[in-house]
């Protein structure tokens, strides 16, 4: 699924809720001009796709954080998953025409995307919810959200892609290897031109 040959899709996934996905998305959006954003929220019964500012800008919503990062467009998909999520992603990404790319936050969208770059965020403890277990092995980049340099990933190297890069950063204070991470992301995106 893509919006064109030069359009880039970055998936930001995580080990669990509140691991820092939205904060990392906002850092990326502040530094990757011309990108849109899609926030996925799991619901139990319905699917919706919106870019309505009244919904996107609700106080304390992840979509408002993304919008405040200077993003070109923000879409919020709420869905139980499955085919409905695939169709909703097609609508949102299809409406990103003219942009350099999109950052998609959420684990479930990965099942329907072929991202140019997949980022997985974990805490230093390496705890992963069951539905996210496959993601470290698919990730191009592992981000360890920690205020301390861990000296590696909390995962067995045999569970990771051979060429996965690991960065350690404290996403709350925005310290650590953020500049190194951003330089790597920009280089990775440019290699697909």
Residue 1 lies in a domain: no
Residue 4, pLDDT > 80, answer: no
Residue 184 lies in a domain: yes
Residue 17 lies in a domain: yes
3-state secondary structure of 3: coil
Please give the tally of structural domains in the chain. Answer: 1
Average pLDDT, integer, range 54-64: 93
- Domain range for 129: 8-190
> In angstroms, rounded to a whole number, what is the distance separating the alpha carbons of residues 94 and 154?
37
Average pLDDT, integer, range 164-184: 93
The pLDDT tens digits for 123-166 are: 888 888 998 989 989 999 999 998 776 556 666 665 677 888 99
Where residue 23 falls among pLDDT bands split at 50, 70, 90? very high
> In angstroms, rounded to a whole number, what is the distance separating the alpha carbons of residues 176 and 178?
6
Percent of the chain scored above 90 by pLDDT? 70
The pLDDT tens digits for 89-121 are: 999 999 998 999 999 999 999 999 999 999 999
Place of tokens 């800008």: 57
Place of tokens 């697909």: 192
CATH number of the domain within which 122 lies: 3.40.50.300
The helix (H) or strand (E) run that includes residue 189 is helix 178-190
The one-character DSSP state at 119 is: E
User: Residues, the chain, total?
Assistant: 193
Task: Transcribe 122-156 into DSSP letters.
Answer: EETT----GGGTTHHHH-SEEEEE-SS--SS-SS-
Instruction: State the CB neighbour count (10 A cutoff) for residue 107.
Output: 22
Residue 20 lies in a domain: yes
Residue 42 lies in a domain: yes
Contact 77, 69 (CB under 8 A): no
Residue 84 lies in a domain: yes
Q: Which residues contact 102 (CB under 8 A, 6 or more apart)?
A: 3, 7, 8, 9, 10, 35, 36, 37, 38, 92, 93, 96
> In angstroms, rounded to a whole number, what is the distance separating the alpha carbons of residues 53 and 88?
18
Residue 24 lies in a domain: yes
Residue 51 lies in a domain: yes
């Amino acid at each position: 699924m893509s919006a064109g040959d030069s359009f880039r899709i970055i998936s930001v996934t995580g080990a669990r809720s509140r691991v820092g996905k939205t904060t990392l998305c906002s850092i990326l959006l502040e530094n990757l001009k011309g990108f849109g954003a899609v926030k996925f929220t799991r619901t139990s019964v319905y699917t919706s796709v919106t870019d309505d500012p009244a919904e996107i800008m609700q106080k304390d919503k992840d979509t408002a954080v993304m919008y405040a990062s200077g993003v070109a467009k923000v879409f919020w998909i709420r869905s139980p998953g499955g085919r409905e999520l695939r169709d909703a992603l097609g609508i949102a990404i299809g409406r990103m025409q003219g942009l350099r790319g999109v950052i998609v936050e959420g684990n479930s969208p990965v099942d329907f995307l072929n991202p140019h770059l997949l980022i997985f965020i974990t805490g230093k403890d390496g705890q992963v919810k069951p539905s996210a277990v496959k993601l470290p092995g698919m990730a191009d980049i592992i981000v360890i959200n920690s205020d301390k340099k861990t000296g590696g990933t909390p995962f067995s190297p045999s569970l990771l892609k051979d060429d996965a890069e690991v960065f350690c950063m404290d996403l709350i204070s925005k310290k650590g290897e953020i500049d190194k991470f951003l330089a790597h992301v920009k280089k990775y995106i440019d290699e697909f031109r």
